[in-house]
Amino acid sequence: MTKPNFKPLQNIQSSVPDIFTPAQVGRYELANRAVMAPLTRNRAGEGGVPRAMNVEYYRQRASAGLIITEGSPISAQGVGYPGTPGIYTSEQVAGWKRVTDAVHDEGGCIFLQLWHVGRISHPSLQPDGELPVAPSAIQPMGEAFTADGLKPFPTPRALETDEIADVVTQFRTAAENALEAGFDGVEVHAANGYLLDQFLRDGSNHRTDRYGGSLENRVRLLLEVTEAVVEVWGADRVGVRFSPVNGFNDIRDSAPDVTFPYAASRLNRFGLAYLHVVEASFVGEEHPRTFDKAKLRRVFKGAYMANGGYGHQTAETALAAGAADVIAFGTPFLANPDLVERFALGAALNEPDPETFYGGDERGDLDYPFLGDPVTAVTATAA
């Protein structure tokens, strides 16, 4: 059924776009170009099941041109943080169905982000206390967030070559589950130091089989996963996320200016809906590595989604210059459920509360006020 906030594929008149101009992204014409970026909240219920507060959180933000959910682990092996809503059990699928129904009732469009964390996990988060898996047995610097607090990352177990097909199957099954849950599409998470990013980058992938060594080999798993997901959804309802300069989760590559344009060019064979690019770094380098993001924009043939510290004016500038087709906003959408309306009216934005970003209850999740509502926006009963 066609939802009132977006329309099936059709031609859009050529003009200089702004945030409020409809945007063609794959199969859909989005009502505006403000995308809600994936934001981990660690507020799922027992068993990684989305609950009532998650339903209300996404419903509040349905005026975004597109919502991309927080990362949703594709399997028990893919879990790296407590309280993350999965997409690998029937209970999780039912919980997400409540979310998609609520967003659609408000006229919104919502994609699920498919997530496998790889080595960014801990045995206490893994089935039977097993080691996390990775392309190579290289211990990342840093600490895992566990139910018992921060603990050092262990040295992961390198996947055997014949195990990699099972990872692809995990993505395929999760994509099927997302379809059952009523999503409008899915995003393959290949960014921010998680499993697919670990395979892409030579700092974390030291394999000597057909999934390591050459750039052609390192991109192989991403292409196999994307193909499996596209077979479920159709390419025009699938996006992929990259983060070429982000060193988050101790990830690095000797030549990101070569690796990521190559990977983007290989993805073109699918005709994907969009490429979502985290253009900034989360780890606060004073002088982050320079990267020609315009090259990715030129190479990739689908819609280009820019992400990384954009505000209203910088987003408008990027859109008018043709540097991006849509802009993903993270924290601004978290703190402002009515962000698009605030942009349209030039209204002040709510101040985000970093102390409530991860975990907890409705505070910092459902109580950011809407315009004209100085008190609590909405409170949902946790379930």
- In angstroms, the CA 159 to CA 376 distance is 48
Convert 96-116 to b/e letters by CB count within 10 Å (16 or more is b): bbbbbebbbeeebbbbbbbbb
Q: What is the reported pLDDT for 378? A: 43
Mean pLDDT in residue range 231-253: 95
Q: Quick one: 290 exposed, middle or buried, by C-beta within 10 A (0-12, 13-18, 19+)? A: exposed
Q: What is the reported pLDDT for 282? A: 66
Helix 52-60 to helix 90-105 angle (10° resolution) is 30
pLDDT beyond 90 at 4: no
Which residue from 28, 102, 98 is spatially nearest to 66, judged by alpha carbons?
A: 28
Spot the catalytic one: 28, 58, 81, 194: 194
The yes-or-no answer on residue 211 being catalytic is no
Mean pLDDT in residue range 336-361: 96
Task: Decide if 75 contacts 92 (C-beta within 8 A).
Answer: no
Q: What is the reported pLDDT for 339? A: 98
User: Which DSSP state fits 255?
Assistant: -
Mean pLDDT in residue range 69-90: 98
Please list, in sequence order, all residues whose beta carbon lies within 8 angstroms of the beta carbon of residue 65, skipping any fewer than 6 positions away.
6, 23, 30, 31, 32, 33, 34, 35, 109, 326, 340
CATH number of 6-356: 3.20.20.70
pLDDT beyond 90 at 376: no
Report how far Cα 186 is from the mean position of its chain's Cα atoms.
9
Q: What confidence category does residue 10 fall into, taking pLDDT thresholds of 50, 70 and 90?
A: very low
Task: Decide if 94 contacts 136 (C-beta within 8 A).
Answer: no
Convert 213-234 to b/e letters by CB count within 10 Å (16 or more is b): eeeebbbbbbebbbebbbebbe
User: In this predicted model, which residue has the larger pLDDT, 14 or 130?
Assistant: 130
- In angstroms, the CA 228 to CA 234 distance is 10
pLDDT beyond 50 at 132: yes
- pLDDT above 70 covers a percentage of the chain that reads 91
pTM (two decimals):
0.93
